[in-house]
Structure 1
Amino acid sequence: MKRITKLWPGGKPKAFTLSYDDGVEQDRRLIGIFNKYNLKATFNLNSGIQHEGSFWVDKGRTIRRMNPEGLEALYEGHEIAVHSLTHPILPDLPRELMLTEILEDKRNLEQKFGYLVTGMAYPFGAYNAAVIEVLKASGLEYARTVNSHLKFNLPENPYEWHPTCHHNHPELMNLAEAFLAERFGSLSLFYVWGHSYEFDVQDNWERIEEFSQKISNHPEVWYATNIEIIRYMEACSRLKFSVDCTLAYNPSALAVWVSADGNAVEVPPGKTVQLY
């Protein structure tokens, strides 16, 4: 019997992504580490308070957001996403203020970085059905929660995208080893999130350096931003197959890869490909 499964770009069976919030000064050091190991991340910014005058103190350390000048170059190669205009607890707001918080942040970030901004992380991890409704109405394609599930699953609902774990989870390194070693029967995804200032507060920058080195540059892993994951999943969902599954047609604008009885096959955009 024919067996067809979906693969990540390049015919890879695994994907890895990262997400960091708040646009703080420590992002500079973190991005240096990610770039060193060829990792790609999504950074969630609050454009209404993106300046050095926005700060707080955590365990005696001053945590300060960056001024907006030069952020385009700093975040180049990574994704910028919405984190709301001023970082409120969104479910506490009237719908009108929710819309302002989301749309104005999206507008400002798009004007600043020069591309469509369609992803998000919930401030304080707080959301409900009303917030999700506003996100959809605002043209956002996904939103990340803070609810770790310690699995390598794809999101069932892109507006309730639960990451695998926080970078300080005690099982982080064990999860990395399992992810790299295991063979999965379907697409797998390892998703790590956090705040870069936590490495200063907890004085453990060596943790993210060690983890980045361990997880990086593996031939079976696709390294992607959050939005790249979401858009590839959407392209995969649009594949059309003949009744006998010998042909695959790709109506999307992205190349999609499938495994046909263990053989990786690329289905280019707008093309029909013989799988068997």
Structure 2
Amino acid sequence: MCLEFLYPEAKKKAITFSYDDGQVYDERLIDIFNKYHMKATFHLNSGILNKEGYVKSNALKELYKGHEVACHGKNHKYLGQLTKEQLINEIWEDRKNLEGYIEQPVVGMSYAFGEYSMGIKQTLAQLGIKYSRTVESTQGFGIPGDFMCWHPTCHHNDSIMEKADVFLNMPEYMKSPLFYIWGHSFEFGRENNWSVIEKFCEKISFKEDVWYATNLEIEHYINAMRHLTVSTDEKMYINNADISIWAEYEGAVIELKPGYTKL
């Protein structure tokens, strides 16, 4: 029998959120997420911060505490319309500015206007970006094959309560389901529908079998699992990462700590 991989602490499901642009509505959204112990990633344009309607750069570290700050391009430009030099500047300067504000490495991203290409993906990887989210909803709960082309489950206006029912009642044969919701916090203010996310968080929160994680935490864990060194009989493992990987083996939960494990 081979291992069946689990999320940290033997959780069987995971959920994450992704919100773009850094408008002041993030403050209310974070209050909701914190109330229900959700974890989210916020993709910011460092060149637009401090303008009217946007969060202040000197407030980022405290405002997004417990969540992840990620890139969205310094000035929210169409990446496909930039020269190679402009593309490098748009992302590198965004990383550098945001890291200065929050005093942490910033290695995640979402594509402004959902625009990307193979060349853009390759350049981002060279600039230290570990993943980037698209706007192409899958309507499913699979983990991404390519984190530089990370398709979310759906937008928050896309029947998320019904999807929550499916997610929470997933049959056992569906392994490691991941629910990924994206959007913009200003949409809640514009449409006056804050109850959408409030009710969803209330429904999905405090489940013992769900891992609530940022985008980067999920990318780091999944890639650590994928880079295990495994013997041909699948009874010896070398965990090459700096975190434990959790799995189930013959009905028992196994923690594969960094280093060598023999089952």
Deviation for aligned residue 1:32? 0.2
SS where residue 120 of structure 1 aligns? Answer: strand
Deviation for aligned residue 1:167? 0.2
Matching of residues 42-61 of structure 1 within 5 Å: 42-53=41-52
Deviation for aligned residue 1:91? 0.2
- Assess, with a 3 A threshold, how the Cα gap between structure 1 residues 242 and 129 changes in structure 2: closer, same or farther: closer
Q: Summarize deviations over 1:213-256 as a string: whole Å, max 9, x none.
A: 11111111111000000000111012223333233321211100
Corresponding residue of 1:100 = 89
SS where residue 254 of structure 2 aligns? Answer: strand
SS where residue 177 of structure 1 aligns? Answer: helix
User: Could you tell me whether the CA contact under 8 Å between 2:138 and 2:151 is conserved in 1?
Assistant: yes
Deviation for aligned residue 1:270? 1.8
User: Could you tell me whether the CA contact under 8 Å between 1:7 and 1:187 is conserved in 2?
Assistant: yes
Q: 1:135 pairs with 116, 124, 128, which one?
A: 124
Deviation for aligned residue 1:166? 0.2
TM-score (norm: length of structure 1)? 0.92
Q: Summarize deviations over 1:169-209 as a string: whole Å, max 9, x none.
A: 1x211111100101344221000000001011111001100
Corresponding residue of 1:56 = none
User: Could you tell me whether the CA contact under 8 Å between 1:267 and 1:273 is conserved in 2?
Assistant: no
What residue ranges of structure 2 are gaps of 5+ in the alignment? none
Corresponding residue of 1:27 = 26
TM-score (norm: length of structure 2)? 0.96
Corresponding residue of 2:80 = 91
SS where residue 199 of structure 1 aligns? Answer: helix
Matching of residues 69-88 of structure 1 within 5 Å: 69-88=58-77
The runs of at least 4 aligned residues of structure 1 exceeding 4 Å deviation read none
Separation in structure 2 between the aligned mates of residue 273 and residue 212 of structure 1, nearest angstrom: 40
Separation in structure 1 between the aligned mates of residue 123 and residue 238 of structure 2, nearest angstrom: 34
Q: CA RMSD in A?
A: 1.2
Corresponding residue of 2:247 = 258
- Assess, with a 3 A threshold, how the Cα gap between structure 1 residues 95 and 6 changes in structure 2: closer, same or farther: same
SS where residue 73 of structure 1 aligns? Answer: helix
- Output the amino acid matched with 2:60: L
Deviation for aligned residue 1:273? 3.9
Corresponding residue of 2:160 = 172
SS where residue 151 of structure 2 aligns? Answer: coil
Corresponding residue of 2:208 = 219
- Output the amino acid matched with 1:145: T
- Output the amino acid matched with 1:193: W
Deviation for aligned residue 1:52? 2.7
Separation in structure 2 between the aligned mates of residue 3 and residue 269 of structure 1, nearest angstrom: 19
- Report the more deviating stretch, 188-197 or 241-250: 241-250
Q: 1:244 pairs with 233, 247, 259, which one?
A: 233
Deviation for aligned residue 1:70? 1.7
SS where residue 58 of structure 2 aligns? Answer: coil
What residue ranges of structure 1 are gaps of 5+ in the alignment? 54-63
SS where residue 70 of structure 1 aligns? Answer: helix
Corresponding residue of 2:193 = 204
Deviation for aligned residue 1:12? 1.1
Count of residues in Structure 1 that have an aligned counterpart in Structure 2: 262
User: Could you tell me whether the CA contact under 8 Å between 1:257 and 1:264 is conserved in 2?
Assistant: yes
